[in-house]
Amino acid sequence: MEAAHEYRPQLNPKFLAAVRAKQEEQAKQARIAEARRKTRQKFQVVQRPIINPEQDYRVHEIRKIPGTLPIIKHIIIETAAEFGVTYDDIIGASRFKNIVKARHTCMRRAVEARPDLGLPAIGKIFKRDHTTILAALRKTKQPGQVR
């Protein structure tokens, strides 16, 4: 009697190539979908809580000390609350019109409130160059103002 032959079918190479191509296409589509989701999430407008300077105890502590200069961060918090944006919006890179207006107003108030700081120092606080501070001062020029 002959040895029992175990039957092992070989898969068709064309079939294997088609299966691999299909798997690669599915993986590619999944990567594209993930990239789109991350992009939408990155640029989605998110409602963040607005800091109210009346409730922020640190602002009141600074105001109670007579003869001290205001801290730039507190100026930013107050202006952000006034314009309805957040601290991160003002420091961030967004170029939405309402945020830019609030940012420029903050920069003007910071320059006026802290004459001891130069434009490069204020620019570092806002994570910007000193020429950006100059441009903000020009844009927020008030009537009858020389500077």
Question: pLDDT tens digit string along 58-112?
Answer: 444 444 455 667 788 889 988 888 888 888 899 999 999 999 999 999 999 999 9
User: 81 with 135, same domain?
Assistant: yes
Q: What residue numbers bound the domain in which 39 lies?
A: 16-45
Closest CA to 78 of 59, 95, 97: 59
User: 132 with 78, same domain?
Assistant: yes
What pLDDT, on a 0 to 100 scale, did the predictor assign at position 143? 59
User: 40 with 66, same domain?
Assistant: no
pTM of the full predicted structure?
A: 0.54
Q: Count the domains in the chain.
A: 2
What pLDDT, on a 0 to 100 scale, did the predictor assign at position 107? 95
Cβ burial, residue 33 (10 Å; 0-12/13-18/19+): exposed
User: 114 with 63, same domain?
Assistant: yes
DSSP letter assigned to residue 117: S
User: 38 with 81, same domain?
Assistant: no
Is the pLDDT score of 1 beyond 80? no
Mean pLDDT estimate for the chain: 79
Q: Cα 58 to the chain's mean position, in Å? A: 24
User: 127 with 62, same domain?
Assistant: yes
Range of lowest pLDDT (9-13, 41-45, 66-70): 41-45
User: 74 with 106, same domain?
Assistant: yes
Residue 6: pLDDT band (50, 70, 90) is low
Percent of the chain with pLDDT over 90: 36
User: 102 with 68, same domain?
Assistant: yes
**Domain-located, residue 50:** no
User: 107 with 78, same domain?
Assistant: yes
